A and B are shown apart, each in its own frame.
Chain A
């Protein structure tokens, strides 16, 4: 890199008066650098770092957005601990994440292995499985409330044909969260499958062939060669899907809006309600900060764990 800026004969520099010398060149270099990086940096930092700091100050106030805010110190954070709604929301988010992340890793891997076979119609299968990822979560939610409609939805019709009892699905407080998790998997697993598929195709063929020559069964090849090779991708998928699950909002908004009986109210949905439905900005910001802390902690744990076990994805 130093070479680029060494005093090699460059025509356009000869035009500039020599008197400006080194300081002039440094200034020019900085201006060029900031000219390139400045606009995007300013936008990103201005629209996230700055608001994030501001959110912290808001989280230490009681404020409805109109009347002047009153400082309450750490009281908002103390209240979260005793807030049953926050606890329920945290629990729903946890359940969702715990079902969704392993679900998308297992399903994604299984589908990728299947899609990696050289059989007929494989292009057609790939298309079918990936298409739902392109559809928006909002549209998926509207479609899902049709498919899972207890009266005339296709899901119950399928159960009827199979001679199984029909269900209330999204209208039943003990099923709704599970159904939402299934819908989210339907919409997102295509992405995981594609990422795994790319990783599978990157595994050197010699590795697998050598094992087969040595008489390893298909399962053992998968267990001892494929699986270890997929580890870095799994770390990536795990982090990506954890963030997706913890931030799931659109799907809930167009299916249950947090109901029935708050059974699908996740942390993210709770923050939205606090801040933009009931105008409790200070408390909402405090809950958001807690969510941020937990997300960060989780991500760091995953990264630390993956570094320790030697499969670096980051």
Chain B
């Protein structure tokens, strides 16, 4: 018989891995509370001597970070709400209702999935310029109002629901909208949660599109703001880390609070559809 370790050997793999994944984030938080002198010390120190708010103060005073934060919250909120409403409606339409042009419309949506954003950003920028919304927050959220992924996800979910309940509601005289709102939607919570989480993550974290569409620094989202701030202060690490903390902590805290649901949601991704 083999000699047994007092603990499972899997810990020997998982412990170092967990540290590799989490220590950089811990260092990010700790560094945001250091002074520049502390950061430039040699050998580098990991823990600040005491909590210094210098980085945060300078960041607040010399950038529009509060504005960027508000902009990002607004863009993400619009993205999530609009996704939930429009994609669930469309998903239901494609799954359950019969209408002329349904097949063609759905095919067109599926066809768009493969198109990379890099191909779209040039004409989309031109389109938005003609519509006069370049450099406004609208430019940041309009592409997030609905997505092929969202429609597809919801359609798959609705296809998997038993039809009987809806038929019963119809027989009781409910119209399509009423059936949808009061019978179908309450059943769709897991799918809606997945859609909300994915939309929140990707709209909050997006850099490329707002970088292209917005150049007025009061209209930046957090990611664009951070990137531009980084461009001008490559070595002001306490400020950069403070910005990073402000930009990432809301989602990280949300994740820590609702962890179980969050992970359940991630695995729901159309995989089982």
Residues of A within 8 A of B (CB): 1, 3-5, 8, 10-12, 29-30, 32-41, 43-45, 47-52, 54-55, 58, 65, 110-111, 114-115, 117, 119-122, 124-132, 134-139, 142-144, 146-147, 152-154, 157, 160, 186, 190-191, 194-195, 197-199, 233, 236, 243, 246-247, 249-250, 253-254, 267-268, 271-272, 275-276, 281, 284-285, 288-289, 291-292, 295-296, 299, 313
Contact = CB atoms under 8 A, between A and B. Distances in A.
A208 to B, nearest CB: 17
A133 B190 CA distance: 21
A48 B112 contact: yes
Interface in B123-144: 123-127, 142-143
B22 interface: yes
Contacts of A134: 201, 248, 251-252, 255
Top 4 closest pairs, chain A to chain B, by CB: A33-B99, A36-B93, A37-B93, A136-B205
B89 A40 contact: yes
Contacts of B20: 186
Contact of A299 (B25, B97, B114): B114
B53 interface: no
12 contacts: A29-B98, A33-B102, A34-B93, A37-B94, A45-B112, A49-B108, A51-B127, A115-B14, A120-B8, A160-B43, A247-B117, A292-B115
B251 A135 contact: yes
A111 to B, nearest CB: 7
B40 A152 contact: yes
B118 A268 contact: yes
Nearest to B226: A138
Interface string B28-42: 100100000001111
Nearest to A161: B43
Contact of B17 (A39, A129, A276): A129
B25 A132 contact: yes
B186 interface: no
B207 A250 contact: yes
Interface of B: 7-8, 10-11, 13-15, 17-25, 27-28, 31, 39-44, 46, 86-87, 89-90, 92-94, 96-102, 105, 108-109, 111-112, 114-127, 142-143, 145-148, 150-151, 163, 166-167, 170-171, 173, 175-177, 180, 201, 204-205, 207-208, 211-212, 222-223, 226-227, 230, 237, 240-241, 243-244, 247-248, 251-252, 255-256, 259, 263, 266-267, 269, 271
B24 A147 contact: yes
Contacts of A111: 17
Contact of B212 (A50, A195, A276): A276
Nearest to A270: B118
B8 A117 contact: yes
B122 A275 contact: yes
Contacts of B166: 4
A194 B267 contact: yes
B116 A44 contact: no
Given A4-B167, A194-B266, A291-B116, A49 B18 contact: no
Chain B interface mostly helix, strand, loop or mixed?
helix
B97 A152 contact: no
A127 B244 CA distance: 20
Contacts of B120: 47-48, 51-52, 55
A36 B176 contact: yes
A289 B248 CA distance: 33
A247 B144 CA distance: 18
A267 B41 CA distance: 39
Contacts of A51: 119-120, 122-124, 127
A36 B8 contact: no
Given A51-B120, A119-B10, 20 more contacts: A1-B98, A30-B100, A36-B97, A43-B86, A45-B105, A47-B142, A55-B122, A131-B255, A142-B243, A143-B241, A146-B28, A152-B42, A160-B43, A236-B271, A254-B207, A268-B118, A275-B122, A288-B118, A291-B116, A295-B116
B246 to A, nearest CB: 10
A34 B99 contact: yes
A131 B252 contact: yes
Nearest to B247: A139
A43 B109 CA distance: 10
A1 B94 CA distance: 12
Contact of A288 (B27, B39, B122): B122
Contacts of A36: 89-90, 92-93, 97, 176, 180
Contacts of B89: 36-37, 39-40
B226 A55 contact: no
B182 to A, nearest CB: 15
Nearest to B109: A44
Contacts of B256: 127, 131
Contact of B207 (A50, A138, A197, A285): A138
